[in-house]
Amino acid sequence: MKTITYILGILGFVLIFTGGIIYAIRSTLSITAAIFLWVGLLLILFFLYVNFSDIRDLLLKKSTRYGANMAVVIVIFLAVVVLLGFMSVNHKKRADLTKTGRYTLSEQTIKILKSLKKDVKAVAFYRSEEVTYHAMLRQRAEDLLQEYSYHTPKFTYKFIDPDRSPGLATKYGVSEYRIMLLMSGGKQEKIGFESEEKVTNALIKVTRDEVKTVYFIKGHGENDIASIQKLGYKAARDAIEKENYLIKELLLMNEERVPSDASIVVISGPKKEFLQDELEKLKKYVENGGSLLVMIDPGHPITIKDFLTGYGFKVEDDVIFDKQSRVYGSNELTPVVYQYDKDHPLTSEFNLATYFYLVGTVDIEKDKKKGQYQLAMTGPNSWAETDLKQWSEKGEAEFNEGKEKRGPLSIAAVTTIPVKGSSEGKIVEESGLLKEGRFKFGKIIAFGDSDFANNTNINLAGNGELFLNTIGWLAEEADLISIRKRDTKNTPVVLTVAQGRAIFWLPVIVVPSLVLISGIGIYSRRRWMR
């Protein structure tokens, strides 16, 4: 009978141990784990009840006291190990041993983090279910945010699963996965994807006290930023204001100069010619470090064309056709743009298709040292139609070999203008990217179309993203950074949550525990055999 009770007691310990491991790995008390724990507990209670007198006699033996002393020593040892683990968590030193520095932030980011004066909270919205792809994305985001929090206690983060906490997702206004929100001092920036550049730039925006001002020039038939009509720019204005910019209109002919608080001046679809005096004011503005965004449509004013030509732009009198656009549900007058310059910070990671209706060619000779880039190009099947009279009369257009230019065609370009007399008026080229840092220079971006950002088209495909990225680069690049993408040659192993817990519990807890129990058993047996 005693042999049976001992077997039941051992079986009870095995069931409790197994149930505990299942619970630790799955993090939820499943029916299987609950049954194991309950049956194991009943068997142990039965064993203690039947063998109560034997257990009492055992506790009174001298050898048991020695065993108790050994147990105390073991507990003290484990307490020391736990204390060391606790200290390592609170006073840790991280080292990135990957070949490409995969888990190392750039020096610019680390410098910004160490100089933070405000608390910044990051909330990441990722799925927590045990699916390999989503687990990989979540782990990538957590690795990135953990690096940020490592360098300063002012940066904290947490993860929310929109499926499990829909109320919190609604509270933060998030309805998508793979989104991060950075919040500080009442400001909030939304980030998509796991990018150090995006996180750092958002970090700067939410901690900056200054409010940048964007001026829209009027007086020449430009797009109306207050209009809610199809061709109006009310949606564009609202989108810019959501990015924490102040919007103002500027009647330049009534001003002595461009206002000193102008972070960007926007010329959007002018229909009438500019006065020479207005162009001189714009020239002084950009050559003193200002940022200018020019969006002109076919049939643009000659004065604006001449102004852009003076800074290296080639603005043609044409309309781009692309019959391939019909495949994308568009028409031949709306080229679908999907080629972007990967050397420039503005478009290096941009990969969304954009649609431009009645767009003309705006080209520039690429020169990294001068900061000249062709930002966006139409497809290879497009062409620049120059016989606009025939097209307007017959409503048809065909490519004429030798007379017209075949795509890809540039419809957006950028240049930088070093400020004269400034020791910082220089451009630095590094690893194929224009590193403009805090050097003083003016910037001009020109588009061959203004309709891509109107109320009808700004929410079409990537139009809004391209427009806002352009505004952000023009207004912020002197302060924001462009971080070189790391060459991640290594392929990390992605585990589900359960697999990760199993790898922790089995080698770290289970195996050492079995070794410890075996050692105690052998020691006790030898003591009792003496």
Express each pLDDT in 304-344 by its tens digit.
999 999 999 999 989 999 888 777 667 888 898 999 999 99
78: region left, alpha or beta (phi > 0 left; psi from -120 to 50 alpha): alpha
184: region left, alpha or beta (phi > 0 left; psi from -120 to 50 alpha): beta
Q: Give the max Cα distance, the chain.
A: 114
The pLDDT of residue 426: 46
The pLDDT of residue 3: 77
Q: Which residues contact 181 (CB under 8 A, 6 or more apart)?
A: 122, 123, 124, 125, 172, 174, 188, 189, 190, 191
| Threshold 0.85, pTM exceeds | no
Cis peptide before 153 (omega within 30 of 0): no
User: Tens digit of pLDDT for each residue in 433-482?
Assistant: 333 444 578 999 999 999 999 999 999 888 998 999 899 889 874 444 44
Structure tokens at 135: 């687990």
Least confident of 234-248, 480-494, 499-513: 480-494
Least confident of 66-70, 73-77, 115-119, 467-471: 66-70
Least confident of 23-37, 40-54, 201-215, 472-486: 472-486
